[in-house]
Structure 1
Amino acid sequence: MVRVSKWVALLTVILFSLSIIAGCGGGGTPAPTAPVEEIKIGLIAPLTGDVKTFGESVKNAFELAIEESGHKVGDFNIKYVIADDRNVATEAVNVADKLITQDKVSAIVGSVTSSCTIPISEVAQAAGVVVISPTATNPKVTVDGGKRKDYIFRACFIDPFQGTVAARFALDELGAKTAAVLFDQGNDYTIGLKDYFKEAFVAGGGQVVAEEAYAKTDTDFSAVLTRIAQLKPDVLFLPDYYQKVSLIGKQARDKGITATFLGGDGWDSPEIDWTAMDGGYFTNHYSPEDPRPEVKEWVDKYTAKYGQTPDALATLAYDATKLLLAAIEKAGSKDPAAIRDAMASIEGFQAVSGSISFDENGNPIKSAVILQIKDGAQKFVTIVNP
């Protein structure tokens, strides 16, 4: 019995020694690692409704930017939640509230139109959640009654610049002396762009001979276009989205209006009426014909993935998402206040649409391009610097 006990004791010592060796890296089960922390990001875009091509482009580019990041930013895994606002302001508020209160996102990319992004910005500012809109150009997105909404940013230029560029182009390049304007009286984007165009056009010596309002649901513009046809303006300024301007443009030509059509970035869609709008010009944020290498690289990889050339909506959504990821990485935190501070401090960010630094109101200082609708395509005309 003594001899057996000695062998048992010796075996116990050996097993204990082996367990110590295994615990020191000798091939045993590794100690469990802490799970990687997650950060939630929201995307709001009109995936259905009257400007759904805008939303489709934005969603594609957002997902491409996240995919390129490996679904990681800094020490965080990225989880994203996509919401459809249908280009309806009340729906935009509803989905923003859900993203913030239920999904607990730290930041939101979106929305696309000013009429939806302005109310979203108010919800997010009150909740202290960062928003960066790719494309909403109305000044009220980031400023309310002269007061800065410090959680709100954008990747696009704003309407005072865009409207002024359009007016100067009409005066200096088209030689226009008179202009007529049609605008949606319920849309902040069209109202703002109309106001800034008119102000710059008149200040430059032009005359606005007609300024006509319509409702979003209007489809028959016969009466107002008949009046405008009699005035024979040099330019017809149409600061609305592609579906509406296509409808107005066709009816204008049917009424014998020969004025040059002119508009803003809302024209940028493959579903615009190429025939009705042929010869028209519009301001935009980038051109795929830009010779910069970063533009060529962007166009090639987007086209390879989605089978079509990226429009300005896609380009700005890609830039906005990249800006947000850069801010999160710089902050090293998923706290919205830290992300806000990091975003505000970004300078010289090399985006596809140009070098981006934010001004005191969260707006990038950048150039615009003029494009022409010609022979079923967009043709690059010129770049206009701020």
Structure 2
Amino acid sequence: MVSDDTNRPNRRAVLKGAGIAGVALTAGCISTPEDGENGSGGDGSGNDSGGGEGNDSESGGGNGGSGSGPYTIGMVDSSTGSLSAFGQRNQRGKDLALARVNEVGIGGSDLEIIVEDSESQSQAGVSAAQKLVNQDGVPFVIGAVGSGVSLAIYQSVVEGTDVVQLSQNSTSPDLTDYPGLLRMSPTGETQSAALADIIAEDGHDSVAVTWINNDYGQGITDAFTNAWEGEVAFNNSHDQGQSSYSSTVSQLANSGADAWLFITYQPEFTTMAQEAYSSGYEAQFYGADSVQGPDVLSNTPEGSLDGMKLVTPSAAVDQDNYKEFASTFEEEYGESPTAWSAYAYDCVITAALAVATAAEFTGAALQETVREVTRPDGEQVTTFQQAMEALGEDGSASDIDYQGVSGPIDFDENGDPVGYLQIFTVENHEYTSTGFVES
């Protein structure tokens, strides 16, 4: 909440009707992104003005809720590169959430999000975040896809400042060691433990593991080997973006293990699966979250992955707010959302609620509210509109407990959320849900 009564947002006065169809939105902020686009305008910025001075709490975007300009935050996403499939889903979730926020408004002002491309690489992600923080002056950054990218942004740009960083898609257990780096997707610690249990339950006592050579791959693999009680016959990394992984595939086959675990990204796994199939190698495949996707199925031979089991972060698909989100997503995009879309959606709603309840539009003030708006002590709300109604004119961050479409959130002292995991099995070259695990 702003401290000056003359500038305090009158939330009830700005509530508008639900439904995104007839909403007038700021140009460049809401669109339906096509493949390879970030859904935020031709320059990827999400607005045309840029300029860090627009976010000063005394002028421009950060106007204390007086309605004379938008609140502008940033987002680093994977519009291109190995993780672009996740980035596209993120943008769709982000766009739906931004529409919901701007139907209601924050004290008469819109929320705008400047989107920059990490290219799925750490250095490009750091450059994107530097642009957002140093040039655009945003006090809040949603980002990024990939644990290594998120951690590089935090260490190079955010750490030691008041800027809030909330990652939409980072699961490495290593991020738990950086409590200033919040994330919406659950830690991979539980994902690794679930994989170890499933492989053992399937009767395997030896496993061969290959992992992408970055913080994500290292963190998930270390957590897996700590949880696994059998033999690790092969445990080696591979680089990102190679045209062939025949050597890695041969080493997996020569390890003697009949269970192969892939902790990598979709393009890399697709190449490995193609080369294993063409070489006639047979093994039981298992995978972490980032090897699953429709592009994997469409680019591998029919039946080549049947029987593969994957453990992925999951949204709370049994909740009514998720069902409403999924229905809207399907109407808008013609396909079901993934958990990654839900995480991006919840990042935007959480950011908007942090802005709405902060004393001023600064990083220091947002640090005080971003965790509180999801804490269990407040009144449970499942939409941005419900939250604003519950806050009224004088509410504070601790008065509400936003229950996300991805689940309860409830950031702990390490910045990790409560999370759900879903088990998928490839059957007839399609992903079939075969169970859930709560973290």
- TM-score, length of structure 1 as denominator length: 0.83
Residue 98 of structure 1 aligns with which residue?
131
Matched, 1:209 2:233: yes
Residue 310 of structure 2 aligns with which residue?
282
Q: For 1:14-58, what per-residue CA distance to the aligned partner results, in whole angstroms no more than 9, with x for missing partners?
A: xxxxxxxxxxxxxxxxxxx96535321111111112221111111
Matched, 1:327 2:354: yes
Q: For 1:129-166, what per-residue CA distance to the aligned partner results, in whole angstroms no more than 9, with x for missing partners?
A: 1111111112344534xxx32xx211111122211111
Amino acid of the residue matched to residue 415 of structure 2? Answer: G
Gap change, CA 1:269 and 1:179, over 3 Å in 2: same
Gap change, CA 1:74 and 1:208, over 3 Å in 2: farther
| C-alpha separation in 2, matches of 1:252 and 1:198 | 24
Amino acid of the residue matched to residue 122 of structure 2? Answer: A
Residue 255 of structure 1 aligns with which residue?
279
Amino acid of the residue matched to residue 157 of structure 1? Answer: P
Residue 128 of structure 1 aligns with which residue?
162
| C-alpha separation in 1, matches of 2:359 and 2:92 | 26
Select the residue among 209, 231, 237 that pairs with 1:181.
209
Q: For 1:54-96, what per-residue CA distance to the aligned partner results, in whole angstroms no more than 9, with x for missing partners?
A: 1111111111101111263345432221111111211111110
**The residue matched to 1:272 in structure 2 has which SS?**
helix
Contact 2:297–2:430 (8 Å) recurs in 1 = no
Select the residue among 185, 198, 210 that pairs with 1:156.
185
**The residue matched to 1:126 in structure 2 has which SS?**
coil
Select the residue among 144, 147, 151 that pairs with 1:111.
144
Contact 1:111–1:136 (8 Å) recurs in 2 = yes
Gap change, CA 1:35 and 1:294, over 3 Å in 2: closer
| C-alpha separation in 1, matches of 2:107 and 2:309 | 42
Residue 229 of structure 1 aligns with which residue?
253
Contact 2:310–2:425 (8 Å) recurs in 1 = yes
Residue 122 of structure 2 aligns with which residue?
89
Matched, 1:58 2:90: yes
- Which structure: larger Rg? 1
Identity of paired residues, percent? 24
**The residue matched to 2:295 in structure 1 has which SS?**
coil
Deviation at 1:271, TM superposition (A): 0.9
Residue 410 of structure 2 aligns with which residue?
357
| C-alpha separation in 1, matches of 2:225 and 2:329 | 37
Contact 1:232–1:257 (8 Å) recurs in 2 = no
Residue 196 of structure 1 aligns with which residue?
223
Which shifted more, 275-284 or 53-62?
275-284
Residue 316 of structure 1 aligns with which residue?
343
**The residue matched to 1:175 in structure 2 has which SS?**
coil
Q: Which runs of 4+ in 1 moved over 6 A?
A: none
- The root-mean-square deviation of aligned C-alpha atoms, in Å, is 2.2
Which shifted more, 336-345 or 33-42?
33-42
Amino acid of the residue matched to residue 355 of structure 1? Answer: P
Gap change, CA 1:34 and 1:283, over 3 Å in 2: closer
Contact 1:177–1:234 (8 Å) recurs in 2 = no
Gap change, CA 1:329 and 1:34, over 3 Å in 2: closer
Unaligned runs of 5+ in 2: 1-64, 377-401
Amino acid of the residue matched to residue 358 of structure 1? Answer: F
Q: For 1:305-339, what per-residue CA distance to the aligned partner results, in whole angstroms no more than 9, with x for missing partners?
A: 11221122211111221222222223253121221
Amino acid of the residue matched to residue 322 of structure 1? Answer: I
Unaligned runs of 5+ in 1: 1-32
Residue 15 of structure 1 aligns with which residue?
none
Amino acid of the residue matched to residue 65 of structure 1? Answer: A
